[in-house]
Amino acid sequence: MNADNEYFNILRRLYDKSLILEDISDFHPVLYFYFLDSLAHLDFTLCQLAFTYQSPRNIMNLQYLRWRLDEEKTGDRPLFPAFVNWLKKNDRERFDRLPLLWQEIYDADAPASYRSFRIALDPDSTQPIPGRFFLVSIDEFFNREFLKTIYRDGSLGRLFEDFKAQQGC
């Protein structure tokens, strides 16, 4: 591994982050799942760009992400993509404050998706995602103001519960 690799250095930035000042047991369970899931997809995509495909790191990531496919279907988790699109339609300002990765992946009108667990902002492009996207995403997910919103009693947590109630769940 070349320590000068841009994506390797971005991985270091991700791993330098900490949730030590947070009480993750009080995070809203659905939002916490998607928070960790997004970090796993960021990690996987960065590892794909920084390491060889057959590295132990990439193999371990694949195992987690295969497991998460089933986990995404449990409980209230399937409501999350619809919740993001509901925010876009009903509370555009709040939608615009969501982390960019959530806006891109879960917006039904955006072309972005997870392809073989890798983040693909433009599925037709063969170019790697610019490093800047990852830096912005990491900073957004670890922004103190954002983290406050994903607690059960945080603004996004309460909005999700309101959305869930409107869905009759």
For the entire predicted model, the pTM comes to 0.86
Alpha-carbon distance 77 to 146, whole Å? 19
Query: Model confidence over 9-41: pLDDT tens digits?
Result: 999 999 999 999 899 999 999 999 999 999 999
pLDDT, average across residues 129-147: 96
pLDDT of residue 3: 56
Whether residue 150 has pLDDT greater than 60: yes
Tokens 């990531």 sit on residue: 61
Distance of CA 78 to the CA centre of its chain: 15
Whether residue 49 has pLDDT greater than 80: yes
